[in-house]
Structure 1
Amino acid sequence: MSTTTPSHNRSSSPQGTSTWALIIKIKAKVSFIKFDTAQMAERRRDLWKRQAAWLADRDPPTPDPFQCAEAVLEKKQRQAEALIKWTSSYHADTALRSPQR
């Protein structure tokens, strides 16, 4: 960007020079704001990525309710089988121990 003024706008008065200086300052400020905005957007995206990674490490995956129900049913079935096995062995023991008439 050139800091010289076009020939048709040149004037010997300080008013003309200060106008161009003001325009240059405004353009520089706008460029800086655009750069700063882009930089902030990049920082925000980086922060979101870090937060997502942190949450992924922190929160365990949500279990499937059907898998949970199946696991509970399998556990209850094993408990019932164990109870049946224990009951039958208990009755067999008591039948052997009881005096026969």
Structure 2
Amino acid sequence: SENSSADQKQACKKHELYVSFRDLGWQDWIIAPEGYAAYYCEGECAFPLNSYMNATNHAIVQTLVHLINPDTIPKPCCAPTQLHAISVLYFDDSSNVILKKYRNMVVRACGCH
């Protein structure tokens, strides 16, 4: 059929992403960890927005307007709905060792906004 699952884009969801601090060139000031699982959100926010897509009411309304007027109003965006912190051990400018919790570093859940 024309609308086979291969043609349809994947629905909005969380994908694997490992961030290496060495790849970012940060290994000289970050002591630990060497990297972390950050994840990212990607996918289609298409009609109908199912409950597992964690859609906002605004996104649901925008989807309906998009159906009426697809050339001017885009579909909602797939974005993090829940983020968590990680702790990082690093050297500050005075070479002191600091342990700091960085908020909103890990995607826990994605949804349509």
Q: TM-score, normalised by structure 2?
A: 0.17
- Structure number, greater radius of gyration: 1
Higher fraction of helix: 1
Q: 1 or 2 for the larger relative contact order (CA 8 Å, sep ≥6)? A: 2
- TM-score, length-normalised on structure 1? 0.18
The structure whose residues are more often strand, as a share, is 2
